[in-house]
Amino acid sequence: MLDVLNEQLNAKGEDPIAFDSDCREGICGMCGLMINGDAHGPEVTTTCQLHMRSFTDGETITIEPWRATAFPVIKDLVVDRSAFDRIIQQGGYISVNTGSAPEAHSVPVPRDDAMRAFSVATCIGCGACVAACPNGSASLFMGAKITHLGELPRGQPERDSRVVNMVAQHDHEGFGGCTNIGECTAACPKEIPLDVISQLNKDLRTALAHGH
Amino acid sequence: MLDVSTTSLVKGARASRSTIALKLLMAISGLIFIGFVLMHMYGNLKAFAGHDAFNEYAHHLRTFGEPMLPHEGLLWIIRVVLLGALIVHVYAAVMLWRRAKRARTTPYVMKKHTGAIFASRLMRWGGVTLLLFIIWHLLNFTIGKVNVQGGPTNDPYNLLVDTFDTWWLTVIYLVAMLALGAHLHHGVWSAAQTLGLTGNAKARATWKKIAFATALVISVGFSLVPIFVLAGVISK
């Protein structure tokens, strides 16, 4: 739709509207837009996968960029989400030695843990949670990463420092605090549940008890 | 182009300095308030037992624990704890409110609130309403002891009846109980989530029910006495 609009603008010799998109199959997280007041529009999907049949014929569609201090607008609808990258840099990883891959069966992972880790690892970091949150908080994003890595054996050694450092970076970037309202999970194209924020809080509380 | 190199990575992070630590303070102080209002409600409902039972209860609150505690010892312990909890609760709220304001300085032209219950969006202004109510309430019954009907103020039961016999005072209290109910409906669930008790879908559903039940019991429980006084069931 925006492509069509930009073609029209081009034909008229006007500047096209800048917007982000990459994979156009709902897995990269680049294309987030606030459409008619809903992050990624009225369907549970990403902007690029949103069907025009969600709108009525001739309807006026209001499109805005994500609005958050931590996501500065670069141009038109394009925002800079590198704050998310810096949060990941602070702990959204596991440290392993390079070299030959270890035998996959040497560390058993209970099925339920693996399923939960997989289901929250679907987070694509699109920023819809921040965009939808009245507080501009990135807790759902962080919670997804904390839960994903915290459910797995490889995530345990850095579990305390991970949550403390990621939350510190989150706060430093200017994201707001969570008030458990739940607009994030309603906006999430990957349906990450609110449970992950509970997990995030629990991990931080545990780290606090461990003296971090 | 935008210069992103100015935002550095945080060094020497402390869990106690985080927004989540503020939320934990908010949750714990909130739970202290809930414990208090439940006891307070129990005391209020004594009004149904009549003048003597109510006043005897009020008197016992002052002599509770004697001689181990001094006169009004328990009350003063409760007052100090509550004042501490109030300072913590308001401090955390103000800090998080300010953060939220700064986190989005340009509002959306169009924003729906999909997924949010109405009570959750009333927390801040509802909290301010409750704070104003608490000040009024203390002036009414504890510090100032105002009897708008001009009667005596040294008899707790009669002061209660005189107060709620006045329709506009009953309205103020009922509005405050609506605000309290809404605050608890979201607040109890939010506290459970902050304390990390809602890590799966079942626990989440259970805590939402507990939150609703708590809000209902407390707001209705407190509203009974004013309504029944105004209706003339509880009288001098």
Angstrom distance (rounded) from CA B100 to CA B23: 13
pLDDT grade, residue B153 (50/70/90)? confident
Q: Which of B107, B194, B199 sits opposite A180 (nearest CB)?
A: B194
Give the nearest chain B residue to A136 (CA atoms). Answer: B103
Model's pTM, two decimal places?
0.93
- Compute how many other C-beta atoms are within 10 angstroms of the C-beta atom of residue A181: 24
Chain segment A33-59, per-residue pLDDT in tens = 999 999 999 999 999 999 999 999 999
The whole-angstrom distance between A136's CA and the closest CA on chain B is 5
CB-CB under 8 Å, A175 with B120: no
Spell out the domains of chain B, with CATH numbers in brackets. Answer: 18-101+117-230 (1.20.1300.10)
Q: Token digits for A137?
A: 């908080």
The yes-or-no verdict on residue A10 having pLDDT over 80 is: yes
Cis-peptide, bond into residue B156, ω within 30° of zero: no
Query: In this structure, are residues A206 and A160 in contact, taking their beta carbons and an 8 Å threshold?
Result: yes
SS3 B145: coil
The whole-angstrom distance between A58's CA and the closest CA on chain B is 18
For residue A73, what are the β-bridge partners? Answer: A79
pLDDT (0 to 100) of residue A13: 96
Query: In this structure, are residues A53 and A41 in contact, taking their beta carbons and an 8 Å threshold?
Result: no
Helix (H) or strand (E) holding B92: helix B73-103
Angstrom distance (rounded) from CA B122 to CA B183: 7
Single out the residue of B165, B126, B171, B123 nearest to residue B148, CA to CA.
B165
Give domain limits for chain A.
2-93+109-209
Single out the residue of A68, A71, A83, A67 nearest to residue A168, CA to CA.
A83
Q: Token digits for B7?
A: 């935002």
The yes-or-no verdict on residue B6 having pLDDT over 60 is: no
Angstrom distance (rounded) from CA A24 to CA A48: 5
Q: Token digits for A152?
A: 């797995």
ipTM of the complex: 0.91
CB-CB under 8 Å, A34 with B108: yes
- Compute how many other C-beta atoms are within 10 angstroms of the C-beta atom of residue B127: 17
SS3 B8: coil
| 2-41 in chain B: CB under 8 A from chain A | 2, 4, 7, 9-10, 13-24
SS3 A73: strand
Query: In this structure, are residues B104 and A67 in contact, taking their beta carbons and an 8 Å threshold?
Result: yes
Q: Token digits for B11?
A: 């060094």
Chain segment B20-71, per-residue pLDDT in tens = 999 999 999 999 999 999 999 999 999 999 999 999 999 999 999 999 999 9
Residue carrying structure tokens 């949103």? A50
Residues A161-173 have a mean pLDDT of 96
SS3 A74: strand
Pick the CATH number of A2-93+109-209 from 3.30.70.100, 1.10.1060.10, 1.20.120.80, 3.40.190.10: 1.10.1060.10
Rounded to the nearest 5°, which phi and psi values hold at A18?
-80, 125
